[in-house]
Amino acid sequence: MSQYSSVFKDESKLDINYVPPRLPHRELQLNLLNKFFRFAIETPGKMTQRVLIVGKIGTGKTVLSQHFGLSIAREAQERGINLNYVHVNCRECGGNFFMILHRTILEFYPHFPRRGYSEAELIQILMQILDERNAYLILAMDELEALIRREGPDPLYSLTRIQEGRLKAPQRLSLICVLREPKYLDRLDASTRSTLQRNIINLEEYSMPQLRDILTDRVVLAFRYGAVSTQNLDFVSELAASEGGDARYAIELLWRAGKYADASGSSEVLPEYIRKAAVSVYPVVRKDTVSSLSLHEKLFLLGVARLFKQTGTAYMSMGEAEDAYAVVCEEWGEKGRGHTQLWKYVKELSAMGIIQAEPSSVGQRGKTTLISLLRVPASDLEQELSRVLHKRRM
């Protein structure tokens, strides 16, 4: 019996949370971040900074921020400066400012209690921790739109004004705000918006040659020598470029193609495995996207997926979607949300590219919103949502 051999040498290098040592085609943006925050190394405590990183899915916003944060914290440590970088995903916190602050404090006190404090108290506790440790913090808030949608302008106003009550104290808290669409900033007050928009880093979609460079680095790190040919690397890059230059999609496509190669006992990632991966990996609905949804967003989307699967239609009305959601809520023992909240879910899911929501066309009786799935099969979406929901129950 032959010994099992994988095309991978370290598939963790293809994980969504992996921060590579090099960021091809983001050198300029990385240099900008270093210039914006140079004071944190040269004159810590003299000032703070707020930077906005904007770009579509897969343009490298998160990895750019994390790469920079790890690098500057390491340099600061070498200089004897207690500079900390903390990265919090606002969507994973449900857009809840309390949870964002609590997760930040946990980086300093892992057993800090979850109850018993207000948001204002948590801010003061965080600043007290930094003072006591003579520490400085760069707080990166990823998917900032989740926080703005849920709680409006107040949290960001509080964070950007925290130093005003500490005029003689060292300035310790800087911000990196990461979001997809700058339009969400319109929901902030003029003063906060002006503060955040002062330093903006815009990330454009990757081109096919740029995606190929990114994947070339990952192949060297993740695959055995010769497992992925140059021609097949071009194939993956071309597919990802056609999906809006999404580097996350490209990396996931490459990983899944490698899994198909392993399942087939092949020592090479062949074009057929890439084709199979392209069918099974949907750039608009990946596992990390589905997992980050709130419970009732998942339940609503599950109802939509099931109804599309049952009817075989291309569109459903908002009313039909609400009825399908009610059935799923009953099944899961959850009290359903009202029409206004469900309409917010529709807008958010549409903004994320999971569904499409459009007004009904002229000639149809009554005026309603028509919901459709873009490309992901309803059966596959139902399966993934069911898996995530059942895992949550365990």
Q: Which domains does the chain have, with CATH numbers?
A: 11-15+206-280 (1.10.8.60), 27-203 (3.40.50.300), 287-393 (1.10.10.10)
Which pLDDT score, from 0 to 100, does residue 363 have? 46
The answer to whether 300 and 345 are in contact (CB under 8 A) is: yes
pLDDT values of the chain reduced to their tens digit, one per residue, 394 residues: 345 689 999 999 999 899 999 999 999 999 999 999 999 999 999 999 999 999 998 999 999 999 999 999 999 999 999 999 999 999 889 899 999 999 999 999 999 998 889 999 999 999 999 999 999 999 999 999 999 988 989 999 999 888 777 878 999 999 999 998 888 888 888 888 887 878 999 999 999 999 999 999 999 999 999 999 999 999 999 989 988 899 999 999 999 999 999 999 999 999 999 998 887 776 556 666 787 788 999 999 999 999 998 988 878 999 999 999 999 999 999 999 999 999 999 988 887 778 888 876 544 445 678 998 766 778 888 988 998 898 776 6
CA distance 57 to 245: 9
- pTM for the full predicted model: 0.78
Quick one: which of 244, 275, 217, 204 has its CA closest to 374?
Answer: 244
Which pLDDT score, from 0 to 100, does residue 374 have? 64
The residue type at 209: P
Please, what's the b/e burial string for 301-313 (b: 16 or more CB within 10 A of its CB; e: otherwise)? bbbbbbbbbeeee
CA distance 293 to 287: 10
For 376, the token pair is 């992901």
Which pLDDT score, from 0 to 100, does residue 329 have? 96
Q: How long is the chain?
A: 394
Which pLDDT score, from 0 to 100, does residue 1 have? 36
